[in-house]
Structure 1
Amino acid sequence: MPLNAQTLHTATFAELLADTHRTAVHLEMRDVYAVGDERKDFESFLRTGVPNLDPARSFWPQRTPLVQDAVTRRVMMRRARIVSEPVTDYIRYEHAITPLNLQAGEDVRWLPRRRASDIALPGNDFWLLDDRVVQFHHFTGTGDWAPDCRERTADPAAVALCAAAFETVWERGIPHEKYSVPAS
């Protein structure tokens, strides 16, 4: 799919990812998310302390094939998370379900927020695809999707900021298998 002004704003994320050939990176910077597709699993985790690691349940059946397809096409998929410590219950949950990201083919790193103070970061979480398009995510103060939950741009300055921020976070980040969630 040729990227132009119209497809940039009308394509689904799945279509943009299908047109990605080298890299797809995602930076998460919030300590609490309250998005609807995770709500039941998160509530269950809070009650039981046991994560839902079944990729055929919850929101994973829609997401996993997208990641696996990209990885099969040799797209390097990386996710970095900046987190406050001690972590919130949501970050404990997110850490516990990260094996699903890894099984799908993503590489994941964690960066304690205190080690990110000197990094120029954009104001919102984002996906950066092939260093050509950024999809910012907008959330409400409580962590749910905002009404205008996504914003896309191919602006070179925004792409450069996001690429530099992600690479710095990635370089400082701790691989998932080495990062232990500090006790509250």
Structure 2
Amino acid sequence: MPSSVPPFAELLARCTRSALHLEMRDHYGVAAEADDFRTWLETGQRDTDPGSEDWAPWVSLVSGAVARGVTVRRARIVSEPVSDYIRYEHASTSVNLHAGEEVRWLPRHRAADLALPGADFWLFDEQLVRWGFFSGNGALVGHEMSEAPAAAKLCGEAFAAVWGRAVPHDQYRIR
């Protein structure tokens, strides 16, 4: 899937009000995380240092946006009992919070009656959708962008519905 989508950092830099991210998969096979995920599976140890080489760019990017007044929210719809990958994500979400993101978790059974898009997305300033497409095993296949008002409306309404039911990170207990 060829992509002419600008890098995420560029899209967030253009953002002035809000950046909303909806994740709906129970596993992501992100190549850059493979070694860290394997180590976590073997040892239970996860890098949660916001200043580490792996996290510092993300923390800088998000905290810079938040300092400009951008609200950055992430909602995760998860099956329960959760997958190992979701446990891995949960173990490092403190870094997302440190950067200024707000993060909530919604058990999938509580999302059953919600109208949701068919892919994960970022929605910037209620206008620009950056879709994320993944293979069956969770590998990133590519991104597409849409400025179609109907797509932005769908994503905004879906995110609001999920966010309203989801549990804040500090209250969500892994099952």
TM-score range, shorter chain: over 0.9
1:151 alignment counterpart: 144
Work out whether 1:123 is the aligned partner of 2:118. yes
Against the structure 1 CA distance between its residues 58 and 87, is the aligned structure 2 distance closer, same or farther, given a 3 Å change threshold?
farther
2:47 alignment counterpart: 52
Contact 1:37 1:59 in 2 (8 A): no
Work out whether 1:170 is the aligned partner of 2:158. no
Contact 1:38 1:59 in 2 (8 A): no
**Displacement after TM superposition at 1:21 (Å):** 0.7
AA aligned to 1:135 is: R
Unaligned runs of 5+ residues in structure 2 are none
**Displacement after TM superposition at 1:52 (Å):** 1.2
**Displacement after TM superposition at 1:49 (Å):** 1.2
Normalising by structure 1, we get a TM-score of 0.90
Cα distance in 2 for residues equivalent to 1:126 and 1:58: 26
Work out whether 1:74 is the aligned partner of 2:69. yes
Contact 1:37 1:58 in 2 (8 A): no
Normalising by structure 2, we get a TM-score of 0.95
Work out whether 1:36 is the aligned partner of 2:49. no
**Displacement after TM superposition at 1:66 (Å):** 1.1
Cα distance in 1 for residues equivalent to 2:169 and 2:128: 26
- Among 88, 109, 112, the alignment partner of 1:114 is 109
Against the structure 1 CA distance between its residues 58 and 47, is the aligned structure 2 distance closer, same or farther, given a 3 Å change threshold?
farther
Cα distance in 2 for residues equivalent to 1:100 and 1:10: 26
- The total of aligned residue pairs comes to 172
Deviations 1:87-127 (A, max 9, x none): 00000000011001000000000000000011110010000
Unaligned runs of 5+ residues in structure 1 are 1-8
Identity across matched positions, percent = 53
SS in 2 for 1:157: helix
AA aligned to 2:163 is: W
Contact 1:138 1:145 in 2 (8 A): yes
| RMSD of aligned alpha carbons | 1.1
